[in-house]
């Protein structure tokens, strides 16, 4: 006999081997909270949005943003803020719509794809913020140096000593290193969190896709 047929014959007799939960036991279960990966992805994604919006607010309330606004032109700063809020709203809308499509009654492949799409949106949002961070540092740093009286004194000193090039090289290297460290820590953090959370899903999704080749 075919091995699986043998197994099937036995499997269908298994019913009596399982525990029989009572009505009350099942009822208690539906009152408990889920700990599914979708719930965790949702929580972590919301935290990511809060984190980046939080940074923006922090800059505003510590007066740092005002300094930046003074450095460049006010209008340019307002336009940049408006654009960043529009982008935030766009990402949040997309995230929410993706999240809503996650349905446990879909087939396995569709469910996995929908979860991965939600994750991808947040990943793009984080990527956007990282790029925005690098670009704004690149644009604003020269203005800062120009405006800051302390930097000006150092520049004058460096010019007198003939070490201006050294001064600029130092600034660029320190800035790049700091950016690399910050981005590195953030990426490691995401890689760890999502790596652990989505390990099983990714493996099973790859396995399903392999079948389609």
Partner 1 sequence: MNKELEHSFVELLEKHQNIVHKVCRLYTNNYDAHNDLFQEITIQLWKAYPKFRGDAKFSTWMYRVGLNTAITLYRKSKRRIDTHTFNDFEFKIKAEDYDDTEEQQLKILYKAVQQLNDIEKALVFLYLEDKNYKEISETMGISEVNARVKMNRIKTKLKTILNP
The C-alpha atoms of residue 197 and residue 193 are separated, in whole angstroms, by 6
- Is there binding between residue 109 and partner 1 (CB under 8 A)? yes
Answer yes or no: are the C-beta atoms of 104 and 111 closer than 8 Å.
yes
> Does residue 8 touch partner 1 according to CB under 8 A?
yes
Q: 117 near 198, Cβ under 8 Å?
A: no
Using a 10 angstrom Cβ sphere, with 0-12 exposed, 13-18 middle and 19 or more buried, the burial of residue 52 is buried
CB-nearer residue toward partner 1: 150 or 203: 203
Q: How many whole angstroms separate alpha carbon 9 and alpha carbon 53?
A: 59
Q: Which of 86, 108, 178, 187 binds partner 1 (CB under 8 A)?
A: 108
Pick from 105, 160, 162, 165: which binds partner 1 (CB under 8 A)?
105
Residue 150 is a binding residue for partner 1 (CB under 8 A): no
In DSSP notation, 2-23 reads -HHHHHHHHHTTGGGGS----H
Per-residue x/- mask for partner 1, residues 18 to 57, rule CB under 8 A? xxxxxx--xx-xx-xxxxxxx-x-----------------
In the complex, which residues of this chain contact partner 1 (CB under 8 A)? 2-4, 6-8, 10-15, 17-23, 26-27, 29-30, 32-38, 40, 103-112, 115, 197, 200-201, 203-204, 207-208, 211-212
């Amino acid at each position: 006999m075919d091995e699986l047929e043998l197994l099937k014959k036995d499997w269908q007799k298994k019913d009596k081997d399982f525990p029989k939960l009572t009505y009350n036991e099942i009822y208690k279960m539906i009152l408990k909270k889920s700990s599914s990966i979708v719930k965790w992805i949702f929580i972590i994604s919301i935290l990511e949005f809060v984190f980046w919006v939080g940074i923006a607010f922090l800059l505003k309330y510590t007066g740092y943003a005002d300094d930046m606004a003074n450095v460049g032109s006010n209008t340019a700063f307002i336009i940049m803020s408006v654009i960043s809020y529009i982008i935030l709203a766009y990402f949040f809308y997309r995230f929410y719509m993706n999240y809503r499509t996650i349905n446990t009654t879909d087939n396995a492949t569709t469910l996995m794809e929908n979860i991965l799409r939600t994750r991808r949106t947040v990943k793009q949002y984080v990527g956007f913020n990282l790029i925005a961070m690098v670009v704004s540092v690149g644009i604003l740093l020269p203005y800062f140096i120009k405006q800051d009286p302390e930097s000006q004194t150092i520049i004058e000193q460096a010019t007198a000593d003939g070490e201006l090039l050294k001064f600029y090289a130092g600034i660029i290297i320190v800035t790049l290193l700091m950016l690399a460290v910050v981005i590195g820590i953030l990426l490691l953090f995401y890689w760890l969190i999502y790596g652990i959370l989505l390990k099983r899903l990714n493996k099973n999704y790859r396995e399903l896709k392999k079948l389609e080749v």
